[in-house]
Amino acid sequence: MGKRVQHWNAYEGSCVKLIICIDIGTTNSGASYAFLEPGKPPKVFDTGAFPKSTRGSYKAPSVVAYDTNGKCVAVGSEVDEDMHNAEAEQALFVAKWWKLALTTSNIPTCVDLSTHIELPAGVSAEDCLIRYLAWMWQCVKTDIRSRYTQGDDLLRLTEASMELILTHPNTWDGRAQKAMRSAAVQAGVVSAHSAEQAVRFLTEAEASLTYAVLHSTMQSWVQPGKSLVIADLGGGTCDFSTYDIVQTQPLLQIRESAIARCVVGGATTVQKRAQQLLRQRLQHTLWESEIDWLAGKLWEIIAKLYPRSDGGVFLKVGSKTQTDESRNIICGKLYFTSAEITALFEPSLCSITDALRAALAASGSSDQKVVLVGGFAENEFLRHRIKEEMGSDVSLVKADNLLAKAVANGGCSWGIQSVVSMRMSAVSYGESVRPADEECSRDFAISAPAGQPLTGNFDLLVYRLGHKAPPFIDDTSFEKLCTLKVDLTKIMSGIETRVDAAGKRYKSANVQIKLRLTDTELKARWIWKQGSIPFEGAVQSIYADTLPLFVRKAATPYSGAQDPTAAIITSDTTISGISATHTPAQRLPSAVTLAAQAVQMRHPPGNDQ
């Protein structure tokens, strides 16, 4: 049964509503939920109804087990020690770290993700996510039924109004969000027709912030005028967000003060290097077939016990009679020196401290405080090395309550009441296109022969390689982020029919496109005015399939490995033919509307643009 956290006044709504936050982590996941009942203070519960898990555990491993035929046989906490032993004997395969397949190419990483993610043949990361979401949803419902005697009735009552919050790392964009929303539908958590409104996205760092400020460890730091950096060090990604405390009364109000950062340098990257080190030491030995299993045991020692007093690590691999001094195997134990273990952490440590320095510098505060959250932050050696590297001028604190998934709890709390009032945009949406050209200042128009649908498709392009937009849009460094589809069918009857020089009847509408930065999603709407009366509607954002690592099956060769030298970017994005401008460094409200500067377009294809 879940654990309760309460921080709010009575809910003022008129209907019961269910808020669920599912945090799919690279190594561990969690879920929290709250029923908003009229006249009652909301209560957040962390889901603890995980099969085969120990009592009081509020997180489950992010793994999915498949048999040799590719059939799913267990998910999450159902994957027990016996199954891991069966994996060592090649009787089944445990898929793990598949969340990282959603990482977009602009995020820096210190590993090759195409080889880092472990999947069985014929299985995709998408399949793992769908199965895991379905399993987690069942666990949430089980927890609700165990806590509420009328649990089934509550679930039916809130089915239509349920809000699902999915968390993701900083800087993940619409491509990953589209994939996650689709997975939630396929998993049966939400319906296809309600998914657009029912599913919301939140960065893990902001969820962690929400969790941290509601707990005792943080109270002395949450003071008006103070600044802090949230460093969410997870299994796969490490996220860094900078915030200013604006006020604490009558309501807590926090604003983001620098562009968020994300690097793939979490605990699994250290674990992968440990696996590679073990492979080097045990290749061509009688333990070669057990390397993957032994690597897991080595990581458990490193994660929980290192550093030891002597600085080294012993891993039992055989009996006391087995010694091979050339490989540092003594009496059946493989010895790793302190230098070898320390080297495993260095790439991750460098990426973390570099990002921390950048975040602290961007905050502009002389009072430098860092809150460490996430599973990787539990590693004592890592915290010690971060403290060494950052120096005494930087205050570090680790958020409390290890057993709960801070992100899931914070995400659900955010769904009740957000504490962040302003966010920073990581990119500029809309660089001016030929602003001096008079032709480009006309209204944006969509035209079509009378009787045909009045629609238009426009590509949203992104340029990621610099702080200034290039002079020409044909630069090969542009990529298509998505297509904006405008459909004016619902206002067709109000649009005047015209006749062209050839006597053909057509309709044409001058519209504006406005971009809206919501929680973490980019939304677009069209605006058309009939006289002084405005009409508007949603613009569909169609994302191209640009996450091949997520949808490909493991048996399919993949050549699109991530560039390990990729840099954190703050870039301008250009909308083909439509533009709206702001500077990435300026503070933006949590929901910013950018009115698009108009240009003339013709439709259907074949007309002049």
In a domain, 475, yes or no: yes
**CB-CB contact of 584 with 592 (8 Å):** no
User: In this predicted model, which residue has the larger pLDDT, 308 or 222?
Assistant: 222
CA distances from 68 to 89, 499, 551, 566 (A): 11, 67, 20, 37
CA distance 529 to 531: 6
Residue 359 has pLDDT above 80, yes or no: yes
404: closest CA among 9, 21, 16? Answer: 21
- Output the pLDDT for position 193: 92
- Output the pLDDT for position 417: 85
User: Residue 1 in 3-state DSSP?
Assistant: coil
In a domain, 400, yes or no: yes
In a domain, 299, yes or no: no
Residue 491 has pLDDT above 90, yes or no: no
In a domain, 327, yes or no: no
**Most confident of the ranges 33-47, 249-263, 306-320, 391-405:** 33-47
266: closest CA among 295, 231, 238, 306? Answer: 238
The residue count of the chain comes to 609
Same domain, 219 and 104: no
CA distances from 247 to 212, 222, 385 (A): 16, 9, 33
**CB-CB contact of 239 with 258 (8 Å):** no
- For 228-232, 333-337, 395-399, which range has the lowest pLDDT when averaged over its residues? 395-399
CA distance 209 to 230: 7
Same domain, 513 and 393: no
556 band by pLDDT with thresholds 50, 70 and 90? very low
- For 330-334, 335-339, 597-601, 605-609, which range has the lowest pLDDT when averaged over its residues? 597-601
Same domain, 90 and 227: no
Instruction: Name the H helices within 250-325.
Output: 267-282, 291-304
CA distance 204 to 23: 8
**Most confident of the ranges 33-42, 294-303, 558-567:** 33-42
Domain-ending residue, one of 371, 396, 422: 422
Tokens describing residue 264? 């793939």
- Output the pLDDT for position 149: 92
User: In this predicted model, which residue has the larger pLDDT, 81 or 582?
Assistant: 81
Residue 527 has pLDDT above 50, yes or no: yes
Domain-ending residue, one of 208, 225, 248: 208
Q: Across residues 351-360, what is the average pLDDT?
A: 93
* Non-local CB neighbours of 288 within 8 Å, separated by 6+ positions: 282
Let me know if 500 is exposed, middle or buried by CB neighbors in 10 A (0-12, 13-18, 19+). exposed
In a domain, 516, yes or no: yes
CA distance 215 to 7: 10
Same domain, 437 and 389: no
Same domain, 133 and 197: yes
What is 383-452 written as a DSSP string?
HHHHHHHH-TTSEEEE-S-SSB-HHHHHHHHHHH---EEEEE-SEEE---SSTT-GGGGSPEEEEEETTS
Q: How many CB atoms lie within 10 A of CB 159?
A: 12
Residue 587 has pLDDT above 60, yes or no: no
Same domain, 10 and 31: yes
User: In this predicted model, which residue has the larger pLDDT, 599 or 498?
Assistant: 498
93: closest CA among 111, 113, 110, 79? Answer: 79
Same domain, 51 and 100: yes
Same domain, 157 and 197: yes
Same domain, 59 and 161: yes
Each residue's pLDDT tens digit, 58-109? 899 999 999 988 899 999 999 987 787 777 667 789 999 999 999 987 788 9
Q: What is the CATH number of the domain that holds 124?
A: 3.30.420.40
- Output the pLDDT for position 565: 28
Amino acid at 450: A
Average per-residue pLDDT for the chain? 79
**Most confident of the ranges 261-275, 309-323, 361-375, 550-564:** 261-275
- Output the pLDDT for position 185: 97
**Neighbouring-strand partners of residue 480:** 461
Domain-ending residue, one of 388, 422, 456: 422
Query: For residue 280, how far is the Cα from the chain centroid?
Result: 34
Amino acid at 184: A
Same domain, 21 and 80: yes
Q: How many CB atoms lie within 10 A of CB 477?
A: 11
- Output the pLDDT for position 43: 92
Q: Across residues 559-580, what is the average pLDDT?
A: 28
H/E element, 201: strand 199-203
Each residue's pLDDT tens digit, 200-239? 999 998 998 888 787 656 667 788 888 889 999 999 999 9
Same domain, 100 and 59: yes
3-class SS letters over 509-541: EEEEEEEEECCCCEEEEEEEEECCEEEEEEEEE
- Output the pLDDT for position 600: 28
CA distance 343 to 171: 28
User: In this predicted model, which residue has the larger pLDDT, 463 or 26?
Assistant: 26
- Output the pLDDT for position 439: 41
In a domain, 253, yes or no: yes
CA distance 351 to 361: 15
**CB-CB contact of 560 with 547 (8 Å):** no
Number of domains in the chain: 3
Tokens describing residue 17? 């509503």
Same domain, 55 and 140: yes
- Output the pLDDT for position 566: 27
Tokens describing residue 430? 């809309």
- Output the pLDDT for position 35: 96
138 band by pLDDT with thresholds 50, 70 and 90? very high
Residue 411 has pLDDT above 90, yes or no: yes
- Output the pLDDT for position 563: 32
601 band by pLDDT with thresholds 50, 70 and 90? very low
**Most confident of the ranges 3-17, 140-154, 319-333:** 140-154
- Output the pLDDT for position 431: 58
Helix, strand, coil % over all residues of the chain, rounded to 5: 30, 30, 40
Q: Across residues 169-179, what is the average pLDDT?
A: 90
- Output the pLDDT for position 405: 63
Each residue's pLDDT tens digit, 421-472? 777 766 666 555 554 444 433 345 666 676 666 677 777 776 666 556 676 6
In a domain, 391, yes or no: yes
- Output the pLDDT for position 273: 93
In a domain, 272, yes or no: no
State percent of the chain over pLDDT 70.
78
* Phi, psi (deg, nearest 5) at residue 313: -135, 135
- Output the pLDDT for position 141: 97
409 band by pLDDT with thresholds 50, 70 and 90? very high
Q: Render the burial of 103-129: b for 16+ CB within 10 Å, e for the rest.
A: bbbbbbbbbebbebbbbbeebbbbbbb
Q: What's the domain range around 433?
A: 427-553+566-595
553: closest CA among 94, 70, 84, 17? Answer: 70
